[in-house]
Amino acid sequence: MAILETVKVSFTYPDQLLPALNQVSFSVEPGEFIVICGPSGSGKSTLLRMVKQEIAPYGERSGEIFYNGKKLTEYEPVKIAKEIGMVFQDPENQIVMDRVFEELIFGLENIGMPTETMRTKLAEMVHFFGINHLLDKKIHLLSGGQKQIVNLASVLLMEPRILLLDEPTAQLDPVAAKDFLHMVKQMNDEFGITVLIVEHRLEEVFPLADRVFVFDHGSLKISGPPKDVIAKVWQEQYRPLFPYLPSTALLYLEHADNLQIADIPLTVKEGRKWASQLKTHQSDTSFKKQENYNEKQNPILQVKNIYFQYEKTGKKILQSLSLTINEGEWLTIVGANGTGKSTLLKVMAGLESPQRGKLIYNGKKYSKPISTDIAYLPQNPKLLFIQDTVRGELIETAQQFHLENYEEKINCLVELLGIQSILDRHPYDVSGGEMQKSALACVLLPQPKILLLDEPTKGLDPEMKVALGKWLKSMQSRGLTIVMVTHDIEFAARFSDRSAMMFQGEITVTTSTKDFFKGNAFYTTVVNRMTRDGNIPEVVTVEEAEEKWGSQKIKN
């Protein structure tokens, strides 16, 4: 019997014309691992919230949801709250207590468990997760990844039968995301917990999935085993859903002659097996032609021998760091957590003053923010907004910088970004992508020469990422210089010109993005790991493959 079944579930938010969910029917067997994907606003989160009835949204609903054959509403509320657990996107915001220990037992206290039982359960869980060393720690001293693990453990302590996860790794760095997903998979494998996960890290979750549900515009478009779903999206040419396919599969679909569903690679291992059969039909020399990274060598911003630490006795964040940014380029800075990437960006923006070293912009030294020339977009755009409409924010920003005929400038920028429709809304009430665009509009209003971006793709869906990348590319062609700090190597590989690696407060390598990733053994894209050391030209992205392989008629 299905553990979860929905029958024609529809839902419409108040004051909305179109339903957020439209006649969604499916059933899930116990122990299944279901991946739910689709564009933002396609109803994925709404669906999870409908299943998790304590936080069901208000609005017009129809259809029924069954848990173990009985309607959800027929169960004792406490039982159902226990047995259907949910982990949310933001690791920080779902934490309620001050210390890890108290956070873990929060749910158990809510269901009225006596102290002794709590102790036993906790002892078990702590042992299984290996988080003994975290127990007495204050929450604010944990990393994002650790917080999310605590959130997962806290939900699992209530012994759920179904685990709902709403983009649980969107705010994590790749290493923490892997750890987290691994733990979810372990729960699924070893305890048979049914998992429904909304996720955008397709390369990571597709190999784990038993079935994939693809949502679009509130309805369940396609469902089935991952390879079938991929094949179907491809064959039926659901173009808007292409960004939702893992890049291993995309590469295969674009370049395989004889499409076999069973051969669609989901992992790098499978991908390499297929790629090893590929042969090039032209001579070696033609594709050895190095792509010439156009080094205009016109430095616009120079960081010279910077030292920085937050406190006198604290850790040194930046050490004798030097970096030159050339006019018109798009530079990516990558590196592990805590290597000082974000701090470097703040120093370049003039927001933090280094203890030693020089900052030179256009040949002039500076130590304070010059926002009219160097714009900075923080990781979380929320902290930029003061006014209660996007328009108000733009006007206020224009006045702050004493811009002349700003209305024209605002209109122009708004049109470029395509945010006309949200101008009179509260900046917090719009979608993540739109909020970021509004923030971009604000920082770009004084027409700066340089744009500094901190993790611009965090929390964006694949489609929005591509749109953002293309938009920034177009701004670059109008003369904007871009410096970006990111963990998203796929995004960096696809859009940026030059990449730098940060390690222990220093820049270690700086070279053209393509060479950068081809030179890295571990820190590189999935596509690169799939195609290196083969008989074919090594590529970094699907787009590069299209360009390079297409002209060389690669066949298998």
Residues that bind another protein (CB under 8 A): 52, 54-55, 58, 77-78, 81-82, 85-86, 88, 90, 92-99, 102, 105-115, 118, 138-140, 151, 154-155, 158, 346, 349-352, 369, 371, 376, 378, 380, 382-386, 388, 397, 400, 426, 428
- Return the number of the residue (426 or 555) whose C-beta is nearest another protein: 426
Q: How far is the CB of 165 from another protein (least distance, A)?
A: 12
- Tracing tokens 């590989």 back to the chain, one arrives at 493
Q: How far is the CB of 416 from another protein (least distance, A)?
A: 21
- Return the number of the residue (93 or 286) whose C-beta is nearest another protein: 93
- 115-129 and 144-156 are packed helices; what angle lies between their axes, rounded to 10 degrees? 130
Among candidates 499, 441, 425, which has minimal Cα distance to 475?
441
Q: How far is the CB of 104 from another protein (least distance, A)?
A: 10
- Return the number of the residue (140 or 470) whose C-beta is nearest another protein: 140
Q: What is the DSSP string of 292-326?
A: -------EEEEEEEEEE-SSTTS---EEEEEEEEE
Cα 465 to its chain centre, rounded Å, is 9
- What are the DSSP E strand ranges found in 266-396? 299-308, 318-326, 330-334, 356-361, 364-365, 374-377
- Return the number of the residue (338 or 418) whose C-beta is nearest another protein: 338
Q: How far is the CB of 491 from another protein (least distance, A)?
A: 23
What is the edge-to-edge ordering of all strands in the sheet holding 4-12? 21-28, 4-12, 60-67, 70-71
For the chain, the straight-line distance linking the first and the last C-alpha, in angstroms and rounded, comes to: 44
- Return the number of the residue (198 or 212) whose C-beta is nearest another protein: 198
Dig out the tokens for 228 from the structure.
């079938």
Q: How far is the CB of 224 from another protein (least distance, A)?
A: 29
- Return the number of the residue (264 or 480) whose C-beta is nearest another protein: 480
Q: How far is the CB of 431 from another protein (least distance, A)?
A: 14
- Return the number of the residue (397 or 499) whose C-beta is nearest another protein: 397
Burial class (CB in 10 A: 0-12, 13-18, 19+), 202: buried
Among candidates 185, 203, 202, 181, which has minimal Cα distance to 194?
185
- Return the number of the residue (336 or 351) whose C-beta is nearest another protein: 351
Q: How far is the CB of 306 from another protein (least distance, A)?
A: 17
What is the edge-to-edge ordering of all strands in the sheet holding 356-361? 318-326, 299-308, 356-361, 364-365
- Return the number of the residue (109 or 295) whose C-beta is nearest another protein: 109
Strand partners, 454: 485
d(CA 423, CA 66): 42
- Tracing tokens 């994907």 back to the chain, one arrives at 37
Q: How far is the CB of 121 from another protein (least distance, A)?
A: 11
Q: How far is the CB of 50 from another protein (least distance, A)?
A: 13
- Give just the sign of the alpha carbon dihedral 264, 269, 272, 274: negative
